[in-house]
Amino acid sequence: MPEAKINGIQLYYEEYGSGHPFILLHGLGGDHQMFGHEIEQLKAHYRVIALDSRGHGKSEKVPQYTMEDHIQDVIGLMDHLLIKKTNILGASMGSYVAQGVAIAVPERVEKLILVVAKAFGKTSSTARLLAEHADEVKGLTQEEQMYALSKYIFHDLQAVGEWSQKLAVNVPVLTFEQQEAANRALENFDFRPELHKITANTLLISGKYDGLNPPKDGKEVASLIQKSCFEEFEKSGHAPSVEEPKRYTEVINNFLRS
């Protein structure tokens, strides 16, 4: 199995294709399988490495960890795989980690794609949204809570629902304790003072109806990175790759060719 011991824990990843490296970093509570669409598009031209972040997927579950741990895990994996320079695509939580990597080792990141991103947070976006709608989700299970809040997160609920059902077959569900640890790792980070250090050509993608990381958050990130561009998807929420897959592919391909 494609595993590596990085920073003292076992990390799981999968590789596809060959060529220039391209690392994919998933969102909170997910794993590398969230990137089925991206992997199919990118593997024809790149060496795609899709990582299960610590505490997620098939990677080791540890009781506590931090954003900095996530960042150093990616850098450690790059060292393990002898990757000197890479492209990175991060979605939601993965976009935070990607920012941290591009700040820490700017010379090692060539192109950076940040999907539904933000640059800072006192809590995870999910924890914030749950707190804002606490009365609405009171007494519901974790799964029921996220279903109830989906109308605030996504625009094309049918497309996202079908995608989620397919993922649910294979993506391991985190226990309550594991989900809490994952949420705590996203508390109190703020990359804004250091985003100027990023030298990679950067693409920001946000969804107009995203209640977790709305477009204003993506625009703020873009405004603080020198070589950046911003795209707002008019028919998407927090999952542009699922809600507007054709435009998503076109925008990313155009950016990679530029």
Q: pLDDT band for position 143 (50/70/90)?
A: confident
Q: What is the pTM of this model?
A: 0.95
pLDDT at 159 > cutoff 80: yes
Cα 205 to Cα 238: distance, rounded to the nearest angstrom: 10
Answer whether residue 171 shows pLDDT above 90. Answer: no
pLDDT of residue 46: 98
Q: Is the pLDDT of residue 1 over 70?
A: no
Mean pLDDT of the chain: 96
Query: How many helices (H) and strands (E) are present in the chain, helices listed first?
Result: 11, 10
Are 102 and 228 in contact by the 8 Å Cβ rule? The answer is: no
* 8 Å CB contact between 111 and 255: yes
Q: What is the CATH number of domain 3-257?
A: 3.40.50.1820
Please check the confidence at residue 79 and state whether its pLDDT lies above 70: yes
Q: Whole-angstrom Cα distance, residue 41 to residue 252?
A: 10
255: nearest Cα among 4, 57, 14, 38: 38
The domain spans of the chain are 3-257
Looking up tokens 């020198």 gives: 226
Average pLDDT value for residue range 55-61: 96
**3-class secondary structure, 237:** coil
